[in-house]
């Protein structure tokens, strides 16, 4: 249900009495004078947990992203439900473990038409649209290329960006030459001459300016700092002291993204919206250190692995006047929590079983539940890998026998305690397998290995899981 009135008109409707019946369900919750908040969700692509200033990086300044943490809450145990791009985004958009509906792997190439977020799943954009919000996405979709899977068919009113999993940052050639991965406005390919991160900053701030008088949801999933490593001279010059060419380009790309986040925050301030906007920032998975230099800090592993380096990410949110500034929260949370949190902030409703994620507002708002925990356990399955975190204990299975870690003492997953704690291994394996028994089969196969090799490796891994690995 699309609303066709601005916030100013909405307030007039409130004063009109009987006209309030026309207000969408979500906005009706604010009919006593409170304004519905604006919602901004920004996602970095393949950004390692250790690369932000607020996470300890002193080489690459990220003052704008850091300001979200200092102005609100930074989760030190923030996770995503998959160590690669598209499944994480499927979980983000639905608030559900993506394995429940078969979106376990990245979709296939653009020519493979059937691949996309299943139409059976309701996106947070659709729920917010039904609640009276105008919805927009700028940048990367990666949830299906064919028209039925595209943003405008999945709850978004506006779209500027590309449909695939990655893109050149300097666009050359005619728009049509890029096929299904062209830069698009709506469903039409367009020519873009700016460095893409700068172009996406332009489009995001324009969306805010256009819709500042009505409640909006802006989804800003950057393609930075995903490969290819490309940056213009103005950003490279900031890091002339970095002699490693790959690292210099990465730093420039991250700095450009930080500038883009800063432009969005400035647009909110300049339009008087900052105090009434919930801003969320996280990365879609850990960094692929070897290919981009993106560091995961003290964590073991990287993109593509269910080890901490693959799934534990930078994660923060700001809502000035509602979330106390400078909060550091150590409770495990996951990107699945974002959809129910945004919907709750908007006053929208969903069926009781709609989400696996938790609404985080009761935990982080002023006077919130400081001792409760949003989750008893978090789970991962990615092909032959699976894992569970329950309290400080994490069980990992990657084909070499169970690995057990106490993350309170061993954030780097260096000391395997499986051999010394067989009962804990047994408990966590039972919980993990109970969760996995309720999951769907993947709708498409993983694209990184030949089919025969996948089958052989999977059989070998299942055999190896039978006995715990020795304690280290």
The mean per-residue pLDDT over the stretch 157-163 comes to 96
Place 456 in a pLDDT band, splitting at 50, 70 and 90.
Answer: very low
Residue 115 to residue 109: CA distance in whole angstroms: 9
Q: Quick check: helix, strand or coil at residue 211?
A: coil
Q: How confident is the model at residue 173 (pLDDT cuts 50, 70, 90)?
A: low
**H or E segment at 397?**
strand 393-397
Residue 177 has pLDDT above 80, yes or no: no
Strand-pair partners of 217: 39, 135
> What is the rounded (10 degree) CA torsion for 9, 10, 16, 17?
170
What angle, 0 to 180 degrees and rounded to 10, lies between the N-to-C axes of helices 338-346 and 85-94?
30
- Residues assigned a catalytic role: 85, 142
207-216 per-position pLDDT tens digit: 999 999 999 9
- In the 8-state DSSP scheme, what is residue 426? H
Most distant CA pair in the chain: distance in Å?
Answer: 72
Query: Whole-angstrom Cα distance, residue 123 to residue 141?
Result: 13
Region(s) of the chain under CATH 3.30.1120.10:
378-464
| pLDDT digits 0-9 by tens, 35-79 | 899 999 999 999 999 999 999 999 999 999 999 999 999 999 999
Task: Report the DSSP pairing between strands 393-397 and 385-390.
Answer: antiparallel
102-140: string of b/e by CB count within 10 Å (b at 16+)? bbbbbbeebeeeebbbbeebbbbbbbbbbbbbbbbbbbb
Cα–Cα distance measured from residue 197 to residue 222, given in angstroms and rounded to the nearest whole number: 7
Q: Across the chain, what does the average pLDDT equal?
A: 89
% of the chain residues with pLDDT over 90: 80
Q: Which of 7-16, 62-71, 111-120 has the lowest mean pLDDT?
A: 7-16
- In the structure encoding, which two tokens stand for residue 267, read together? 């647009």
- Within 13 A of 312's CA, how many CA atoms are on the CB side? 27
Distance CA 253, CA 256 (A): 5
**Residue 171 banded pLDDT, cuts 50, 70, 90:** confident
- pLDDT range class, residue 462, cuts 50, 70, 90: very low
**How far from 323 is each of 111, 216, 265, 277, 361, CA to CA, in Å?**
45, 20, 16, 11, 8
Q: Which CATH class is domain 37-364?
A: alpha beta
Tell me if residue 162 falls in helix, strand or coil: strand
What fold is seen in the domain 378-464?
A: Arylsulfatase, C-terminal domain (3.30.1120)
Q: Is the dihedral of CA 228, 299, 440, 456 positive or negative?
A: positive
Per-residue pLDDT averaged across 341-369, rounded?
Answer: 96
Mode of pairing for the β-strands spanning 188-189 and 184-185: antiparallel
Reply yes or no on whether the pLDDT at 99 is more than 50. Answer: yes
pLDDT digits (tens, 9 = 90+) for 219-277: 999 999 999 999 999 999 999 999 999 999 999 999 999 999 999 999 999 999 999 99
Above 80 in pLDDT, residue 85? yes
Q: What is the pLDDT of residue 11?
A: 45
Q: What share of the chain is helix, strand, coil (3-state, %, to 5)?
A: 35, 15, 50
The Cα 116–Cα 107 span in angstroms is: 7
Q: Which two tokens stand for residue 145?
A: 């290329």
Q: How many residues does the chain have?
A: 472
- pLDDT reading at 467 higher than 70: no
CATH 3.40.720.10 residue spans of the chain: 37-364
pTM above 0.85, yes or no: yes
CB 80 within 8 A of CB 326: no
> What does the pLDDT read at residue 35?
85
Q: Quote the pLDDT of residue 469.
A: 43
**Cα–Cα distance measured from residue 169 to residue 246, given in angstroms and rounded to the nearest whole number:** 15
Alpha-carbon torsion 433, 337, 153, 105, what sign?
A: negative
**Over the stretch 13-45, which tens digit does the pLDDT of each residue have?**
444 444 444 556 666 655 555 789 999 999 999
β-strands 327-329, 315-318 pairing: unpaired
Residue 288 CA to residue 437 CA, distance in Å, equals 30
Q: pLDDT > 70: what percent of the chain?
A: 85
Buried b or exposed e, range 198-214, using 16+ CB within 10 angstroms:
bbbbbbbbebbeebbeb
Number of CB atoms found within 10 A of residue 419's CB: 15
Q: Which helix (H) or strand (E) holds 385?
A: strand 385-390
Q: What's residue 22's pLDDT? A: 53
Q: How far apart are CA 278 and CA 216, in angstroms?
A: 11
């Amino acid at each position: 249900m699309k609303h066709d009135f601005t916030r100013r008109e909405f307030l007039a409707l409130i004063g009109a009495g009987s006209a309030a019946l026309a207000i969408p369900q979500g906005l009706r919750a604010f009919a006593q004078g409170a304004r519905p908040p604006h919602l901004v969700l920004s996602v970095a692509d393949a950004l390692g947990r250790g690369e932000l200033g607020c996470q300890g990086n002193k080489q690459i300044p990220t003052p704008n992203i850091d300001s979200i943490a200092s102005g609100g809450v930074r989760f030190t145990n923030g996770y995503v439900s998959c160590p690669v791009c598209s499944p994480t985004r499927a979980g983000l958009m639905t608030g559900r473990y993506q394995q429940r509906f078969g979106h376990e792997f990245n979709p296939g190439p653009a020519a493979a038409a059937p691949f996309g977020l299943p139409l059976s799943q309701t996106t947070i954009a659709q729920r917010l649209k039904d609640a009276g919000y105008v919805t927009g996405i700028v940048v990367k979709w990666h949830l299906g290329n064919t028209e039925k899977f595209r943003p405008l068919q999945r709850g978004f009113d506006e779209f500027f960006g590309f449909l695939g999993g990655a893109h050149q940052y300097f666009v050359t050639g005619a728009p049509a030459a890029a096929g299904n991965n062209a830069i698009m406005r709506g469903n039409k390919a367009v020519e873009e001459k700016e460095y893409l991160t700068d172009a996406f900053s332009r489009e995001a701030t324009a969306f805010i300016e256009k819709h500042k008088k009505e409640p909006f949801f802006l989804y800003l999933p950057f393609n930075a700092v995903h490969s290819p490593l490309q940056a213009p001279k103005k950003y490279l010059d900031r890091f002339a002291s970095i002699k490693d060419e790959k690292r210099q380009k990465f730093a420039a790309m991250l700095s450009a993204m930080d500038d883009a986040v800063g432009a969005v925050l400035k647009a909110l301030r300049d339009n008087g919206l900052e105090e009434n906007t919930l801003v969320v920032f996280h990365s879609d998975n850990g960094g692929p250190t070897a290919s981009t230099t993106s560091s995961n800090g003290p964590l073991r592993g990287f993109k593509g692995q269910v080890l901490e380096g693959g799934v534990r990410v930078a994660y923060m949110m700001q809502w000035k006047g509602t979330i106390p500034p400078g909060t550091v929260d150590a409770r495990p949370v996951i990107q699945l929590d974002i959809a129910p949190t945004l919907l709750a902030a908007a006053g929208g409703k969903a069926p009781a079983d709609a989400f696996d994620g938790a609404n985080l507002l009761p935990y982080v708002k002023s006077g919130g539940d400081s001792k409760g925990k949003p989750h008893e356990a978090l789970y991962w399955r990615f092909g032959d890998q699976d894992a569970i975190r329950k309290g400080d204990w994490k069980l990992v299975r990657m084909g070499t026998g169970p690995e057990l870690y106490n993350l309170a003492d061993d954030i780097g997953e260096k000391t395997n305690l499986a051999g010394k704690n067989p009962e804990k291994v047994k408990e966590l394996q039972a919980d993990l397998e109970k969760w996995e028994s309720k999951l769907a089969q993947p709708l498409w196969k993983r694209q990184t290995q030949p089919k025969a090799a996948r089958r052989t490796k999977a059989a070998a891994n299942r055999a190896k899981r039978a006995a715990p690995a020795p304690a280290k």
